[in-house]
């Protein structure tokens, strides 16, 4: 049996989640926000309201931080748990996500405007894999003994969890970012207060409930939906929060870093990007074009590492542009719950206006703009768009657009393109397409980005660190580096007397 949420059929369990009274999840319980205020949640593909979220404020954040602080007490059930038990809980959380994979995927389609197949195969699957990967770490967090010239002294290092973590996440990967932030924090033994984006709160709230069912003690993971300026800021400012891990825009990341500095609070920032992607003349052109188009048009360009600046060797430039235009024309836009949809909407109306403004400006500045099929009806869509005949200094080549908009720029030689590709305030990802191994090595060394892809684009792995150079942020999510970000190192000196 299926129920209809406005325009599309959704499964009963998802409809039931969307119908839940607006709530925060604190100390193992779903509770209304203290103020009783709410935020409407819209389906980006129809523009219609599909649910209502609690609008948590500083009082709700305080309540959640108090719960997380109690759960971090040295005598708490969480701190008493052995590393092996902690790993098993993480594993069960990953299993619980996979058991409800189809429902989670539907929720992500409805909250974030995703396409069902990608939501299931990428977002949900990767979130689960984060928990499964980090489940292996608690038993492998070790200190060391320190060689010392002091007689009669033994020095050893221990790794301590950093404490209460405030996690603030973006709307583009609501569940997946929970995996990126929460799994390593729990593996390290921390407790967490998560503030998901106000646009996309549902999957994080459900995950927190499932985590308790999987054996996570109450108070270890708390979720407070709310607005950035209120709940987000309160989390950053709270004196009992030891670390902030943030994924979002560079502008908000800078504000968080400034505020956190007042308390010398640990901060990890995963911010925006304008990732460069280079197709050399000797590349497998079909693979390069497919990969590059997939990278920018997937999730309608709303990915932080989107390869939105494409440099193409002049000898193959026109052919590549032609192929890219054909792909833009062929992508089927629509609602993410329709099985045939390949291009979903943007997350909201203001994002839609922003993207359209960028395209308009590029046209006014003299660039050639090729626009794919428009989407009839409501919803916050923008067609797949290929901009060519642009210059490196135009906004379409320097600013993060966060839409399905690709700017193509020709180049003539290797040194020139590496210099131009690197002339960005960002440094999240970069890509090169070539069969020449020496060019590949030169480029991977020269490009200042946290991830460099050679002859491919877009994969991530829970074991591979992910993060930015320059204004794309600092610290790393995923892999051992992420875990390290949730640990302190303590030197223990024992005097033998």
The contact pattern for ligand NAD, residues 302-341, with x = CB under 6 A and - = no contact, is --x-------------------------------------
Stretch that binds ligand NAD, among 230-238, 307-315, 321-329, 379-387 (CB under 6 A): 230-238
Examine residue 248 and tell whether it contacts ligand NAD (CB under 6 A): yes
The site map against ligand NAD for 347-366 (x = CB under 6 A) is --------------------
Q: Is 466 helix (H, G, I), strand (E, B) or coil?
A: strand
What whole-number distance in Å separates Cα of residue 347 and Cα of residue 226? 17
**Minimum gap (Å) between residue 53 Cβ and ligand NAD:** 11
Question: For ligand NAD, which residue of 53, 93, 130, 168 counts as binding (CB under 6 A)?
Answer: 168
Q: Contacts with ligand NAD in 363-422 (CB under 6 A)?
A: 400, 402
Residue 255 interacts with ligand NAD (CB under 6 A): yes or no: yes
Number of residues that bind ligand NAD (CB under 6 A): 31
The answer to the question of residue 453 lying near ligand NAD (CB under 6 A) is no
Q: For ligand NAD, which stretch binds (CB under 6 A), given 10-18, 170-178, 289-297, 333-341? A: 170-178
Exposure string for 452-480, b = 16+ CB within 10 A, e = fewer: bbbeebbebebeebbbbbbbbbbbbbbbe
Among 57, 198, 209, 242, binds ligand NAD (CB under 6 A): 198
Residue with tokens 């603030």: 168
Give the rounded distance of the alpha carbon of 162 from its chain centre. 22
- The residue count for the chain: 497
User: For ligand NAD, which residue of 236, 321, 324, 328 counts as binding (CB under 6 A)?
Assistant: 236
Q: Which of 229, 489, 491, 494 is close enough to bind ligand NAD by CB under 6 A?
A: 229
State how far Cα 251 lies from the chain centre. Answer: 16
Nearest distance, CB of residue 52 and ligand NAD, angstroms: 17
Catalytic residue among 106, 108, 270, 400: 270
Q: Give min distance, CB of 15 to ligand NAD, in A.
A: 25
Angle, CA 285 vertex, CA 296 and CA 308 arms, to 5°: 20
The b/e string for 358-388 (b: 16+ C-beta within 10 A; e otherwise) is bbeebeeeebebbbbeebeeebbbbbbbbbb
Q: How far is the CB of 12 from ligand NAD (least distance, A)?
A: 29
> Please, are residues 380 and 354 in contact by the beta-carbon 8 Å criterion?
no
Q: Binding ligand NAD by CB under 6 A: which of 66, 197, 275, 341?
A: 197
Window of 221-229, 279-287, 311-319, 454-462 that interacts with ligand NAD by CB under 6 A: 221-229
Site for ligand NAD (CB under 6 A): which residue of 195, 243, 358, 470? 195
CB of 485 to ligand NAD, least distance (A): 13
Pairing of strands 385-388, 368-371: antiparallel
- Asked if 433 and 421 touch (Cβ cutoff 8 Å), the reply is no
Least Cβ distance, residue 397 to ligand NAD (angstroms)? 16
Angle at 425 between CA 266 and CA 469, to 5 degrees: 45
Select from 56, 138, 161, 273 the one that contacts ligand NAD (CB under 6 A): 273
CA dihedral of 67, 73, 79, 80, whole degrees rounded to 10: -120
Q: Which of 69, 169, 222, 434 binds ligand NAD (CB under 6 A)?
A: 169
As a whole number of angstroms, the distance between CA 327 and CA 15 comes to 35
Stretch that binds ligand NAD, among 212-220, 242-250, 307-315, 354-362 (CB under 6 A): 242-250
Query: Which window, 17-25, 98-106, 121-129, 224-232, contacts ligand NAD (CB under 6 A)?
Result: 224-232
**Shortest reach from residue 235's CB to ligand NAD, in Å:** 7
Q: For every residue of 234-264, which 3-state class applies, written as one string?
A: HHHHCCCCCEEEEECCHHHHHHHHHHHHCCC
Residue 256 touches ligand NAD, criterion: CB under 6 A: yes
368-373 long-range contacts (CB < 8 A, ≥24 apart) are: 370/325, 370/328, 371/328, 372/328, 372/329, 372/330, 372/331, 372/333, 372/343, 373/329, 373/331, 373/333
Residue 3's region, left for phi above 0, alpha for psi from -120 to 50, else beta, is: beta
**Minimum gap (Å) between residue 357 Cβ and ligand NAD:** 16
Any idea what the Cα angle at residue 188 is, between residues 182 and 194, rounded to 5°?
A: 25
Q: For residue 400, indicate whether it is catalytic.
A: no
Residue with smallest beta-carbon separation from ligand NAD: 228
- Looking only at residues 46 through 105 of this chain, which bind ligand NAD when binding is defined by CB under 6 A? none
Applying CB under 6 A, which of residues 78, 104, 171, 297 lies at the interface with ligand NAD?
Answer: 171
**Distances, alpha carbon 197 to alpha carbons 34, 87, 106, in Å:** 19, 28, 17
Q: Which residues bind ligand NAD (CB under 6 A)?
A: 168-173, 195, 197-198, 227-229, 232-233, 236, 247-249, 252, 255-256, 270-273, 304, 400, 402, 428, 468, 473
Catalytic residues: 270
């Amino acid at each position: 049996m299926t129920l209809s949420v406005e325009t599309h059929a959704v499964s009963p369990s998802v409809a039931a989640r969307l119908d839940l009274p607006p709530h925060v999840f604190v100390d193992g319980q779903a509770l209304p926000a203290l103020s009783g205020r709410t935020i409407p949640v819209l389906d980006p593909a129809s523009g219609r309201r599909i649910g209502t979220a609690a609008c948590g404020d500083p009082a709700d954040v305080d309540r959640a931080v108090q719960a997380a602080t109690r759960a971090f007490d040295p005598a708490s059930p969480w701190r008493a748990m052995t590393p092996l038990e902690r790993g098993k809980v993480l594993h069960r959380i990953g299993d619980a996500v996979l058991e409800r994979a189809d429902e989670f995927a539907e929720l992500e389609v409805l909250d974030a405007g995703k396409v069902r197949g990608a939501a299931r195969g990428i977002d949900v699957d990767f979130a689960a894999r984060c928990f499964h990967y980090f489940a292996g770490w608690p038993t492998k967090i070790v200190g060391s003994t320190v060689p010392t010239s002091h007689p009669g002294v033994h020095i050893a290092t221990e790794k301590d969890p950093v404490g209460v973590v405030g996690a603030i996440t973006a709307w583009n990967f609501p569940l997946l970012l929970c995996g990126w932030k929460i799994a390593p924090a729990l593996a390290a033994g921390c407790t967490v207060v998560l503030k998901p984006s106000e646009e996309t709160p549902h999957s994080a709230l459900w995950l927190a409930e499932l985590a308790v069912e999987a054996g996570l003690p109450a108070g270890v993971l708390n979720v407070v939906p709310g607005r950035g300026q209120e709940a987000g800021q309160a989390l950053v400012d709270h004196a009992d929060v030891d670390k902030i891990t943030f994924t979002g825009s560079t502008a908000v990341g800078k504000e968080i870093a400034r505020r956190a500095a007042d308390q010398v609070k640990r901060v990890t920032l995963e911010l925006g990007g304008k990732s460069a992607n280079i197709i050399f003349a000797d590349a497998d052109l079909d693979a390069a074009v497919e990969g590059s188009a997939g990278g920018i048009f997937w999730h309608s360009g709303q990915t932080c590492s989107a390869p939105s600046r494409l440099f193409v060797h002049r000898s193959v430039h026109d052919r590549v542009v032609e192929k890219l235009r054909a792909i833009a024309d062929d992508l089927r836009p629509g609602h993410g719950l329709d099985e045939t949809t390949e291009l979903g909407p943007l997350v909201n109306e203001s994002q839609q206006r922003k993207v359209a403004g960028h395209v308009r400006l590029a046209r006014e500045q003299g660039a050639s703009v090729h626009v794919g099929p428009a989407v009839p009806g409501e919803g916050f869509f923008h067609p797949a768009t290929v901009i060519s005949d642009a210059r490196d200094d135009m906004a379409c080549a320097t600013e993060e657009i966060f839409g399905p908009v690709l700017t193509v720029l020709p180049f003539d030689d290797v040194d020139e393109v590496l210099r131009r590709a690197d002339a960005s305030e960002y440094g999240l990802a970069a890509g090169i397409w070539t069969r020449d191994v020496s060019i590949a090595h030169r480029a991977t060394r020269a490009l200042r980005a946290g991830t460099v892809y050679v002859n491919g684009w877009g994969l991530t792995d829970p074991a591979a660190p992910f993060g930015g150079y320059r204004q794309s942020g600092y610290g790393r999510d995923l892999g051992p580096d992420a875990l390290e970000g949730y640990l302190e190192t303590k030197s223990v000196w024992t005097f033998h007397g």
